[in-house]
Structure 1
Amino acid sequence: MRQAADANWISEIASNAAALCRTRTSAPWGMGIATYDGVMFHYVVEGSCWLRGSAVPTLELEAGDLVLVPQGLDHDILSSLDVTPEPLEDFLHCPSRPITGETVSTLLCGVYLSGIKMVHPVLNALPPAIYFSREEIERNPSLSSTLRQLTAESEAPAPGSETLIQHLLDALFVYIVRAWSASISDNLPGWAAALRDPNLSRAVTAIHASPGHPWTVQTLAAEAGQSRAAFARHFSARMGEAPLAYLTRWRMVLAARLLLGRETSLAEVAEHVGYESEFAFSRAFKRTYGVAPASYRRTCLRDLYLTR
């Protein structure tokens, strides 16, 4: 059951728009990444650097190390901690950075611009930064192979590289989260730990498999194999919210994602996420996102176009 639940939530994490950049420069250097609406990773191909942020741990990264910052938190990547970083946009658009001296670093940095509000609840369960040392990566064939291919494609682009890189970026995110999921403690609170709970795992998997089903606390309790009262208490204690609150939040996540497709009408989105009328759906959506579904769709499609 846990393997099925893992497969479900990993496959649900969308990376609708992803970008990759490669930078090679000599110390001193630093880039500052402001709070953003996405997920970012940094892979050190050559040399070393530091990760620092107001809400992320300070880490020294050596060649072969990888770090994922999954919650859009501001952070800096620096050649040393005494460097004042440039804003990321200025750093990337600098016309030329001559290689001087022996302290050279090469980084691959990627960002998944899927929108924090739209993504799976697992992102809220992830730590502020997920770090893998070179040794840990080498022990993970899928992760190491994907990083090698990304590095090769970025260093020597060829016909089809852009398409291949997009697929590799999607695979990389899955492998990172999968590796983290396999290593977490059963005692962790929240959504990720709930996957280790056989009762809650059955209920959560049912919600994600059929979000449009007319679920009640009683029917979800039956899925979990518990009484209604015991299930409601257990779910709230482990998940941090009531069962139907979680159901509504997940439906709104799916609705926001579906709204990115121009071909899907509002009525079809409403039906898919379990609402019998556009009016009821629009009211629930506006409570969650602060705007009507049609306005949300126009804004997101415009922003997605501008990032490409």
Structure 2
Amino acid sequence: MDVLSDVIAVMRMGEPRSARVEWHAPWGQRFVSVPGSAGFQAVLEGFCWLIPPNGRPVQLGQGDVVFLPHGSGYALADSPSTPLTQPACDPQHDPRWDQRYASDVIGRTAQNGSQPVTVTICGGYQLDPSRAHPLLGDLPEIVHLPSRAGRNQEVRAAVDMLARELDDIRLGVDTIVPALLDTLLLYILRGWLHEQSGRKPVSGWAAALNDSEIRAALNGIHNDPAKQWSVAALSAVAGLSRAAFSRKFTALVGQPPMAYLTWWRMATAARLLRDSEAPLGAIARRVGYTSEYAFANAFKRQYGIAPGRYRRVIPATAEQ
């Protein structure tokens, strides 16, 4: 798997949620902060304003998508001056979102022919903060991908397909919608990375993944974490001298190559412990350890808990 796909596979947990909502003016809705989650809003019809807790409101038009990677609170409204509904919407506890995939109409009773209507589609992902990939940490509080001719076409296509599924719940929805939500998330991240490439960032994960040499080394680690990698082997994949590679990797990724390799191995092991019944010895070999004892020590240093206990405790926590 490539780095971007791995970010999603390792961090995602639980069931994603999504809803299609019609808003009839005037309307304004607060959304609470949900730590350990990420979410998006996409405008299918009309326009609205995204109101962050800090900063100026952002107008969203048809086709615009915003991604909130850190679970920050925010509000949506037909106008920045519209009073916001209290209490704030909490997708984790609001009965309107009891179903994983929903459709709702806000303001139906106030509707008349002269009122503008906005249609949005929203979604939420539950993430495991213990395996938070540093790529996500580099993202701003709000990622805004505006609709522009010839730009972010894959994002728009995924949103349109998701909207059709939510508008008419049919057979196969339990497989199709999660797949579309993951696909949309990858397209959003890819779109953000593409936009950053035009700005030529000098550090951080946007710079690392837009750098062909460092991206080659990262893909080597992610494609085969069990390989007995060394700085010399990774520098050869990158096509750089050991010293030049080590300096560049550390500057862009934020940690030395071998430190990132160890972190990624442990994150991969944690996912395998959560999602599979493979024996500890098999998981140790999958992430590059010939000794189960050495693997257990490395895992405990990373997570503060033995891998066997992690397997017993974490799935129960993830389901709550």
Which TM bucket (shorter chain)? 0.7 to 0.9
Q: Distance in 2 between matches of 1:175 and 1:166?
A: 14
Change (3 A) 1:30 1:223: same
1:175 and 2:197 matched:
no
Instruction: Quote the offset at 1:139 in angstroms.
Output: 4.2
Q: TM-score, normalised by structure 1?
A: 0.84
Cα shift at 1:66: 1.0
Q: Is the 8 A contact 2:30 2:84 kept in 1?
A: no
- Cα-Cα RMSD: 2.8
Number of the residue aligned with 1:67: 66
Identity %: 35
Please say if residues 32 and 77 of structure 1, whose CA atoms lie closer than 8 Å, have aligned partners that are also in contact.
Answer: yes
**Residue among 159, 162, 179 paired with 2:174:** 162
Q: Which residue of 2 aligns with 1:77?
A: 75
On the 8 A contact 1:55/1:128 being kept in 2, the answer is no
Equivalent-residue separation in structure 1 for 2:92 and 2:129 (angstroms)? 24
Structure 1 residue 204 corresponds to structure 2 residue 204: no
User: How much has 1:211 moved relative to structure 2?
Assistant: 0.8
Following superposition, the deviation at residue 263 of structure 1 comes to 1.6
Following TM superposition, by how much is the alpha carbon of 1:154 offset from its aligned partner in structure 2, in angstroms?
0.9
Q: 2:234 aligns with which of 212, 215, 220?
A: 220
What's the CA shift for 1:247?
0.9
- Normalization by structure 2: what TM-score? 0.81
Moved more, 30-39 or 119-128: 119-128
- Cα deviation digits, residues 160-193 of structure 1 (max 9, x gap): 2332212211221122222222222333411221
Query: Is the counterpart of residue 10 in structure 1 residue 12 in structure 2?
Result: no
- Counterparts of 2:183 and 2:305 in 1: how far apart (Å)? 33
Q: Among 284, 303, 311, which residue is 1:270 paired with?
A: 284
- 1:93 equivalent to 2:105? Answer no
C-alpha separation between the residues in 2 aligned to 1:217 and 1:56?
Answer: 43
Aligned length: 298
Residue 272 of structure 2: aligned partner: 258
Shift of 1:42: 0.9
Please state how far the C-alpha of 1:271 moved relative to its aligned partner.
1.4
- How much has 1:104 moved relative to structure 2? 4.1
Gaps of 5+ in 1: 1-6
Say whether the 8 Å CA contact 1:55–1:73 is kept in structure 2.
no
Cα distance 1:190–1:149, how it changes in 2: closer, same or farther (>3 A)?
same
